[in-house]
Amino acid sequence: MRPASGDGRYILAAAVTLAELAMRIGCRVDGDETIDVRRVASLDDAGPGDVTFLHNPKYAARVSATRASAVIADDRLTDAPCAVLRSSNPYLAFAEAVAALTPPAVSLPGISPLASVAASATLAADVSIEPFACVGERARIGARVVIESHAVISADVTVGDDSVIRAQASIRAGTVLGARVHVQDGAVIGSDGFGFARRPDGSHQKIPQVGRVVIEDDVEVGALCAIDRPAVGETHIGAGTKIDNLVQIAHGVRIGRNVLMAAQSGVAGSTTLGDDVIMAGQSGAIGHIALGAGVKLGAKSVATKDVAPGEHVTGIPAVPVDEWRESVALVRRLPALRRVLTDLASRLEALEQRLK
């Protein structure tokens, strides 16, 4: 797949018939498959010529009012005012429909004369480097990579084929990025880990952070994320992991494959996340613990110890989600419990008086 163009701009494809779209996104058509469609839009915004989608059953009632020409849905949708593109995974079909109807604008590859590229850097075929981007000594840039304006690729960095480094991202010395890695604007990869040793006088001596960050294929790093290098060894992110904006990944963290980290979450030093972990928004994990494969950590919660594979935990500190729900409910009932306690105490007192 061709990566997004350097300027993040998309174009509308020419109209296609519903039959052709259905074939490309793997759906079956219920209705007139000869009509033309041009665009994907939400249930409320869609009009004639648009394809919409029903992913969240919460919105099923709105389908009857849509003005779209077609809706992507699974077999549970029984009644629609337009053609239906049937899929067992409507959200995935929706993703493919957006890609089919709004391909990225193809930027012509080429090195801007306003970029700064070290003579010792090696660039594979069809690389795009925009104005004011910097590529450092001995950096190795893969085929079809896009390096946007003001991005900094420091010395000895490797960037795999088809990766996109967006504007103002900073990839510090020695970092290794795989293929199809997508780094959004302003992200910093390879910043110094927060490592200091206390001197006898109470001041802090910096531990040089001379390890490196390694990011495998197909990882997305959101805007304004910080991923630190460690003093020794590696900070490592597994293939297919997707990281939202403003996320902190500390030195020596190891993250598995296909992990999802939502915005403003953070992981402290040397902690490991297994494959398929999901960290919700504003959640955190303290240092030196392990979250097993498939763990889900709730929004705004903090894991403070190891979590077994597959567990769903939340709260501060994080506990199994059922336990957390019960605690929250009981805390809300504390005023009532206190009234019961007061009532019991006075009745017991009365009984004691009577029997004195």
Phi, psi for 22 (deg, rounded to 5): -60, -40
Among 4, 54, 121, 277, binds its own copies (CB under 8 A): 4
CB contact set of 161 (below 8 Å; sequence gap of 6+): 124, 142, 143, 144, 145, 179, 180
Active site residue: 236, 251, 288, 312, which one?
251
Interaction between residue 340 and its own copies (CB under 8 A): yes
Window 55-94: residues binding its own copies (CB under 8 A): 56, 58, 89, 91-92, 94
C-beta of 14 vs 341, nearer to its own copies: 341
182 is catalytic: no
Q: Which two tokens stand for residue 283?
A: 């959640």
**Could you give the string, one character per residue 102-121, with x where binding to its own copies holds by CB under 8 A and - elsewhere?**
x-xx--------x-x-----
Interaction between residue 300 and its own copies (CB under 8 A): yes
End-to-end CA distance of the chain: 87
Among 2, 28, 288, 305, binds its own copies (CB under 8 A): 288
Interaction between residue 293 and its own copies (CB under 8 A): no
Interaction between residue 323 and its own copies (CB under 8 A): yes
Interaction between residue 178 and its own copies (CB under 8 A): no
The distance of closest approach from Cβ of residue 356 to its own copies in the complex, given in angstroms and rounded to an integer, is 11
Give the whole-angstrom CA distance, residue 317 versus residue 298.
11
Q: For residues 31-47, b (16+ Cβ closer than 10 Å) or e, as one string? A: eebebebbbbbebeebe
Q: Which segments of the chain does DSSP mark as H helices, in order?
A: 18-25, 90-101, 321-332, 334-355
Amino acid symbol at 177: L
Window 138-157: residues binding its own copies (CB under 8 A): 148-150, 152, 154-156
The distance of closest approach from Cβ of residue 78 to its own copies in the complex, given in angstroms and rounded to an integer, is 23
Window 246-285: residues binding its own copies (CB under 8 A): 246, 248, 250, 258, 260, 262-264, 266, 268, 276, 281-282, 284
Torsion angle of the four alpha carbons 171, 175, 181, 182, in this order, in degrees rounded to the nearest 10: -10
Catalytic residues: 251
